[in-house]
A and B are shown apart, each in its own frame.
Chain A
Amino acid sequence: MKIKEIQDEIVEEFSHFEDWKEKYEYLIELGNSIELIDKQNKIDSNLIKGCQSKLWLYAELQNDKIIYTADSEAIITKGIAAILLRVFSNQTAKDILNSDIKYIEAIGLKEHLSPTRANGLVSMIRQIKYYALALNTN
């Protein structure tokens, strides 16, 4: 699926939630199902800065697509990472670089986009794009 399609799908899923509790329960569920980073890559050099809980992100190229994996000590941070990975993992660098993150706002997690939130979302997005730049083969 294309990035935009997955984003729309996530927005649709989140639109069914009545209150924050349902939304966060889902976020936690997503956090538990995240594509976990390999033990050997769970190292300090893959840590994302600006986060209260440790958050690791790793990327590698497989058949022209970037596969992202991540992990965090905090489950909500992991859930947020999962929402990003579902959209950006297994896409081409070019598509990743050309995409936006408006869907985060659309699913009502805008508060997490504030740089002072200390959950590392903003830094994680930046790092995803850096990887895409670095691994861009075209």
Chain B
Amino acid sequence: MSFDINKIRSDFPILKRKINGSSFIYFDNAATSQKPNIVIDSISDYYKNYNSNIHRGVHTISQEATDAYENARAKVQKHFNVLNSHEIIFTSGTTHSINLVANGFQDLLCDKDEIIISGLEHHSNIVPWQMMSEKNGAKIKIIPINENGELDMKIYDNILNSRTKLVFVNHVSNALGIINPIKTIIEKAHKVNAAVLIDGAQACAHFKTDLQELNADFYTTSAHKLCGPTGIGMLYGKEKWLKKLPPYQGGGEMISDVTFEKTTYAELPHKFEAGTPNVSGAIAFGVALDYLNGIGFENICEYESSLLKYATEKLKLVPNLKIYGESINKTSVISFNIEGIHAYDIGALLDKFGIAVRTGQHCAQPIMDHFGISGTVRVSLSFYNTKKEIDSLYNSLKQTISMLS
């Protein structure tokens, strides 16, 4: 299929909105993506036609709902080229997935062990490990970043050792969009028998990842970042690890046998899916993957890189504009400041022009501290954005600056 931007834009009803009388321009895609009709409709179709609890009913629609839910798991499995479908756990999203793993490692680690976290992490990636470390005493080491916002791999080599049991890195940083060298990080971690969890929340909307080839022990993402609904995501874990980890929550679905004396846990993946899951969310997640694969990730990548290049060049024409994290290895995110103007003022006025950008720390205070700034304006692009929208951003930004100076 060729890349037809007009057709693609017509798939997203929200793009027709007006804000303050201007055409709505959405450049906050790293926070969450917009949803195509096909995803939105799959949710109402589920509730209109086969809403039912899954895995327990003998009746027709329960079977239909169960099939659709498991079919969605199969789509996720196929998309990420995962060996076994039971290695895909549906969670409420990346935050839930990370907490599930951190909770599991609480019992597996002790105060002699160490874990490594990158200095590019999202808050949700740091806090669960601090909570774990408070309980089991495991030490947290950090891979710092250099002036380009890239991980300092020399320091990684130095802090990685036989006490390291776990390494956590995001695939793509949400504040700067930098793609981390996770393949190398994983290979090195495996040499000392440490497990690796990769946070793919910012990666999956932009490119496809083959998890068998990557060889990460855990990988996680949130559907809402890739045209799917909120409240659903996945945790991939290698079978051997998911078997080792204790269950996170107790409840229905995750048990096979319960007496008052003892409960036997269900097999994977149900061991980690306690209670009635987000059935419509999982189905819509699968539809979102179908939609993106229908467009083709090669096409998405190519189009987004040309947008990024265009936007970067255009923004550099703005006087006194500084871009943070200008790595060549990055997704379509531009984080910037304009000298002498606070990011909040820029965001607030761009909103008046109908342009949605993110301002602030982007849940990544350590990165902001590293650059010695209190925040940035972040423009994050998606395949449904256009060069024309970037031109509008440029024009509105110039007017914004003249109003503010």
Give the residue name and chain of the A residue nearest to B348 (CB). A76
A76 touches B20 (CB 8 A): no
How far is B342's CA from A59's CA once the two chains are assembled, in angstroms? 25
Task: For chain A, residues 61 to 99, give those with C-beta under 8 angstroms from any C-beta of chain B.
Answer: 73-77
Give the residue name and chain of the A residue nearest to B347 (CB). A52
CB of A29 to closest CB in B, whole Å: 10
B344 touches A54 (CB 8 A): no
How far is B349's CA from A94's CA once the two chains are assembled, in angstroms? 36
Task: For chain A, residues 107 to 123, give those with C-beta under 8 angstroms from any C-beta of chain B.
Answer: 118-119
B359, CB-defined interface residue at 8 Å: yes
State which of A73, A77, A118 has its C-beta within 8 Å of the C-beta of B360: A118
CB of A3 to closest CB in B, whole Å: 27
A20 touches B344 (CB 8 A): no
Q: Take A52-B359, A53-B374 as given contacts and tell me if A119 and B403 are in contact as well, using a CB distance cutoff of 8 Å.
A: no
B352 touches A24 (CB 8 A): yes
State which of A53, A75, A119 has its C-beta within 8 Å of the C-beta of B404: A75
State which of B342, B352, B359 has its C-beta within 8 Å of the C-beta of A75: B342
Q: Take A118-B360, A119-B348 as given contacts and tell me if A53 and B342 are in contact as well, using a CB distance cutoff of 8 Å.
A: yes
* A53: B residues at CB distance < 8 A: 342-345, 374
A52 touches B403 (CB 8 A): no
How far is B20's CA from A41's CA once the two chains are assembled, in angstroms? 38
How far is B20's CA from A118's CA once the two chains are assembled, in angstroms? 20
B403 touches A24 (CB 8 A): yes
CB of B360 to closest CB in A, whole Å: 5
What's the A-B contact tally at a CB cutoff of 8 Å? Answer: 42
Contact with B along A34-53 (1 / 0, CB 8 A): 00000000000000000011
How far is B350's CA from A21's CA once the two chains are assembled, in angstroms? 11
A118 touches B352 (CB 8 A): no
CB of B281 to closest CB in A, whole Å: 24
CB of A52 to closest CB in B, whole Å: 5
Contact size class for B?
10 to 19
A73 touches B348 (CB 8 A): no
How far is B341's CA from A114's CA once the two chains are assembled, in angstroms? 24
Contact size class for A?
10 to 19
B375, CB-defined interface residue at 8 Å: yes
How far is B344's CA from A74's CA once the two chains are assembled, in angstroms? 6
Q: Take A20-B20, A20-B352, A52-B360 as given contacts and tell me if A119 and B374 are in contact as well, using a CB distance cutoff of 8 Å.
A: no
Task: For chain B, residues 343 to 397, give those with C-beta under 8 angstroms from any C-beta of chain A.
Answer: 343-345, 348-349, 352, 359-360, 374-375
A24 touches B360 (CB 8 A): no
A25 touches B345 (CB 8 A): no
Q: Take A20-B20, A24-B352 as given contacts and tell me if A118 and B344 are in contact as well, using a CB distance cutoff of 8 Å.
A: yes
Identify the 10 closest CB pairs spanning chains A and B, nearest first. Answer: A74-B342, A74-B344, A53-B344, A52-B344, A74-B345, A73-B342, A52-B360, A20-B352, A53-B342, A76-B345
Residues on B close to A: CB < 8 A?
Answer: 20, 341-345, 348-349, 352, 359-360, 374-375, 403-404
Show 29 residue pairs from A and B whose CB-CB distance is below 8 angstroms, ordered by the A residue.
Answer: A20-B352, A21-B352, A24-B349, A24-B352, A24-B403, A25-B403, A28-B403, A28-B404, A52-B344, A52-B359, A52-B360, A52-B375, A53-B342, A53-B343, A54-B374, A73-B342, A73-B374, A74-B342, A74-B348, A75-B341, A75-B342, A75-B345, A75-B404, A76-B344, A76-B345, A77-B344, A118-B344, A119-B344, A119-B348
Given A53-B344, A75-B341, A77-B344, 18 additional A-B pairs, CB 8 A = A20-B352, A24-B352, A28-B403, A52-B343, A52-B359, A53-B343, A53-B345, A73-B374, A74-B342, A74-B345, A74-B348, A75-B342, A75-B345, A76-B345, A77-B345, A118-B344, A118-B360, A119-B344
